[in-house]
Homo-oligomer: A and B are copies of this chain.
Amino acid sequence: MALFVLKELSERIGAELIGDPQLSITGIATLQSASPSDISFLANPKYQKYLSNTNAGAVILSPKVADAFEGNRLICGDPYLAYAALTALFAEPYGGQEHCHPSAVVSDGAEIASTACVMANAVVEAGAVIGEGAVVGAGSVVGRRSIVGVNTCLAANVSVYHDVKIGENCIIHSGAVIGGDGFGFAPSGNGWVKIHQLGGVRIGNRVEIGANTTVDRGALDDTVLGDGVILDNMVQIGHSAELGENTAMAACSGVSGSTKVGANCTIAGGVGIAGHITIVDGVHITAMSMITKSILSPGSYSSGTPFNDTKSWRKNAVRFNQLDKISKRLSLLETQHKMTDAD
């Protein structure tokens, strides 16, 4: 169990400490569930009501609410960011105690750095390179000539195809598939003819890829994820797509082939983005929207309809398929009204 004294934590996040510097902290918890050995934080004003009754041993607060709590406290400008920083101290480490577990299969010609860890029943194929401090999780497979950068961790059962380059300090969660074939087929008189996908995948540094997310390899040009990109679970990235730095995609969203999404975009859950389009930097897309054309101005974009009780929804939904007629009837009525009025 991780154990820190409050002073260490305050120094770690550059906070002012008011209270007992030697207090032992063994965990982080919400204000509502914290015990006296936990540190908590107040970032969202709507939780301030829980401050008075919290059992937390210490609380991280912003200067403007520093006096709202009388116990041990760490004062800093961005408590949420401070909380994020502290979570790293209490996280379960990836990797195990052995360099290469005896059950792992490492091909001749694969390079495993001396501080890397290849876990039980993992497979590293010929020509692959696993960097210092990197972890190949149990049951994961790294294909021929693929590179796993320094300190990058693959959780259990990740599949990395051949010729994929993953940068440093990335996390790839279980079930993710990197470098599978893009969906490319040419129609012919005898059905679909497969277009073998000859491009690779290039993933930058500090990228996180969620569980069961798929990042296809390029058809010809590589698929590219910029530094700091974060992808939630079950995100689909089509072949030869590109995501700019620090762009975030929530669960069950997807980008189709050859589309370029800029930097610092946020794509909410369930969004679908068509192929061969461009989304500029700083675009935000709300949940379950369908983006069918390029977006060339930063801002927030949406599609879809609000929910309703099913009975009301049915009545309104039927009208959707009459909208063009409704619009035309309205125009006609306007014209008629003007004529009548002009009589």
**Interface on A for B, CB 8 Å cutoff?**
27-30, 33, 78, 80-81, 83-85, 87-88, 90-92, 96, 101, 103, 105, 119-121, 123, 125, 137-141, 143-144, 155-157, 159, 161-163, 171, 173-175, 177, 180-181, 183-188, 191-198, 206, 208, 210-212, 214, 216, 220-221, 227-228, 230, 232-234, 236, 238, 245-246, 248, 250-252, 254, 256, 269-270, 272, 274, 284-293, 299-324, 326-327, 329-330, 333-334, 336-337, 340-341
For A292, give its contact among B186, B230, B306 (CB under 8 Å). Answer: B306
Residues of B within 8 A of A197 (CB): 87, 91
Would you give the shortest CB distance from A77 to chain B, in whole angstroms? 11
Residues of B within 8 A of A155 (CB): 159, 161, 180
For A156, give its contact among B84, B141, B288 (CB under 8 Å). Answer: B141
Q: Are B105 and A123 in contact (CB under 8 A)?
A: no
Q: Are B183 and A210 in contact (CB under 8 A)?
A: yes
Besides A302-B308, A308-B321, 19 more A-B contacts (Cβ < 8 Å) are A30-B221, A78-B186, A81-B188, A84-B194, A92-B162, A105-B138, A120-B141, A121-B123, A141-B174, A183-B232, A191-B245, A192-B248, A291-B307, A306-B320, A317-B323, A319-B323, A329-B330, A330-B333, A336-B337
Would you give the shortest CB distance from A95 to chain B, in whole angstroms? 11
Q: Are A314 and B337 in contact (CB under 8 A)?
A: no
Q: Are A310 and B290 in contact (CB under 8 A)?
A: no
Q: Are A173 and B183 in contact (CB under 8 A)?
A: no
Residues of B within 8 A of A336 (CB): 337, 341
Q: Are B307 and A292 in contact (CB under 8 A)?
A: yes
Residues of B within 8 A of A274 (CB): 287
Q: How far is A5 from B334 in the complex, measured between Cα atoms in Å?
A: 71
State whether A159 and B159 are in contact (beta carbons under 8 Å apart), knowing that A233-B216, A336-B337 are contacts in the complex. Answer: no
For A251, give its contact among B183, B196, B337 (CB under 8 Å). Answer: B183
Would you give the shortest CB distance from A39 to chain B, in whole angstroms? 11
